[in-house]
Amino acid sequence: MPNTIQTQMTELPGNGSTVPAFLAKPDGDGPFPGVIVVQEWWGLDDHIKDVAQRFAQEGFVALAPDLYHGVVAKEPNQAQKLMMALDMNRASAELVRATDVLASQPYLRGRGIGAIGFCMGGGLALTLACDSPHIRAVAPFYGVNPNPLSKLGSLRGPVFAVYAEHDDWASAKVREELRQDLERYGKLFETKVYPGTQHAFFNDTRKEVYNADAARDAWAKALELFRKSL
């Protein structure tokens, strides 16, 4: 039976600035494992908030930082412009800050934190797993690779990388580079390419690309990864 949950928007403190974020947690004092949920290029929209709430219902504290600081795209051209204008170094630093804040919460009490992200957020989640000592497992969905790839040597836990068969963003070349470098650094990982799927197949608000069977399987595998690792 799903956990009863609490949700709220919050402001994460930082070096002279704050980062808005959506927090979803189970009722109670924990300790709970944590998950950082990283947005698609649309922003912190209802879909990403729903993913965070799904994690909370499964017993995780989920924190989804708002990397666009209040802006949510309504159509692809706007989303592309927002992503292109985003300072990825700043976004990565904000994700590390969010992870530090989550790790310090009393309701975690030393439980591990995972990272999951989609599209733009898939690459940022994988980079976060390289940058933060708190991330013990990561599930990037159809994301690009960290730059430089040598950052993968800093991973502290397993990777479950999810891909669509038909995807110019996270292409076969991107997938193969990740596989080769994870093997080179001796990391524990699994990659899965879902046949017949398009980029963003997990997003059930995008009916033109959503694939229920693939989304259900990828979700179950991500949950299994986090339950085993955190």
DSSP labels, 171-200: -HHHHHHHHHHHHHTT--EEEEEEEEEETT
- Residue 62 and residue 25: Cα distance in Å, rounded? 6
pLDDT of residue 42: 97
Q: Is 199 among the catalytic positions? A: yes
Q: What is the pLDDT of residues 119-157, one digit of tens each?
A: 999 999 999 999 999 999 999 999 999 999 999 999 999
Q: What is the pLDDT of residues 212-228, one digit of tens each?
A: 999 999 999 999 999 99
Catalytic residue among 45, 66, 167, 181: 167
pTM, full prediction? 0.96
pLDDT of residue 1: 61
Per-residue confidence band for 178, with pLDDT thresholds at 50, 70 and 90:
very high
Q: What is the pLDDT of residues 85-125, one digit of tens each?
A: 999 999 999 999 999 999 999 999 888 999 999 999 999 99
- Residue 46 and residue 205: Cα distance in Å, rounded? 9
Residue 92 region by backbone torsions, left for phi larger than 0, else alpha for psi between -120 and 50, else beta: alpha
Q: Which of 128, 155, 146, 159 is nearest to 64 (CA)?
A: 128
Q: What is the mean pLDDT of residues 188-193?
A: 96
- Residue 72 and residue 27: Cα distance in Å, rounded? 28
Mean of pLDDT over the chain: 95
Tokens standing for residue 152: 């993968």
Q: Is 119 among the catalytic positions? A: yes
Residue type, 33: P
pLDDT of residue 16: 72
Distance, CA of 193 to chain centre: 18
Catalytic residue among 66, 130, 131, 199: 199
Per-residue confidence band for 196, with pLDDT thresholds at 50, 70 and 90:
very high
Q: Is 130 among the catalytic positions? A: no
Catalytic residue among 66, 119, 131, 134: 119
Q: Which domains are delineated in the chain?
A: 5-229 (3.40.50.1820)
Is the Cβ–Cβ distance between 210 and 201 less than 8 Å?
yes
pLDDT of residue 15: 66
